[in-house]
Chains A and B, each alone.
Chain A
Amino acid sequence: MKISCVIPAYNESKNIIKVIDKVLPLVDEIIIIDDCSLDNTYELAKTMNVVALRHPINRGQGAALQTGDEYALSHGADIIVHFDGDDQFKAEEIKTLITPIINGEADAVFGSRFLGSANFPYIKRAIIMPLARLVNRFFGIKLSDPQSGFRALNRQTLEKIKIENRGMAHCSEILYKTYKTQARIVEVPITVTYHEFGQSFGGGFKIIKDLIIHNFIK
């Protein structure tokens, strides 16, 4: 069973080597998608034992994930893990995510910061997350973490999903589309260490706007 880890990266020269070193022993293949970084993220990734791809123009995290997914699927991946390049997730928790899929208990596993321990900034915990959860409920999604970027999906499920929101709205989009595939979904606790604030309050509204706009495009 081939396990591929897709890691989008933008200006992550400080973290990328560290992240690769931690993830590499746990998976069969790492696919780094440099989203046209302004620093030497891509050059650093190329020196490692990973597949390094580079977008010629910056397209956003959702777009980078889809590029990585397409590469992974066309190169025989059975389980695809989405991981962040900023060293906020714990690599050892990849095992927690892929185990239910390996055991045949789930088709998609989403990491939840609410089931685990995460030092959420106050505004994120008190306003952004409840709001995002409310928006997800509107789409029929009842998971505890509405915006988790740490997830694992099996090949059959991912083949039915195309990420079209290139910005941060892709998290909700992946959840929604996974639900639509009727996949067996499991949520597992994950640990997140915030280095920066991450999603801003305005960013939360941008996600809602992007989700609405993309529903109108044919």
Chain B
Amino acid sequence: MTEIEVDCRDQNCPVPLVETRKALKKASPGDVVEVVGNHPASKKEIPMAVEALGLELLSLDEEGEEWRIRIRR
């Protein structure tokens, strides 16, 4: 099981969503993709995409403006 980290801090719409999707495409089933960023809309929208893709949202942590989302492929 591999962990893939996606850093999209200071990236604006739609880059966090796009980079998350790219990472998920590259991942194999069972891998965990961790996305870290600070764009507020993405904090809501990445979980929406995870649900639409039928994948598992493992966690969403926030520290001030920065959020960290973990997804299992």
Do A and B belong to a common assembly?
Answer: no
Chain A interfacial positions (CB closer than 8 Å to B): none
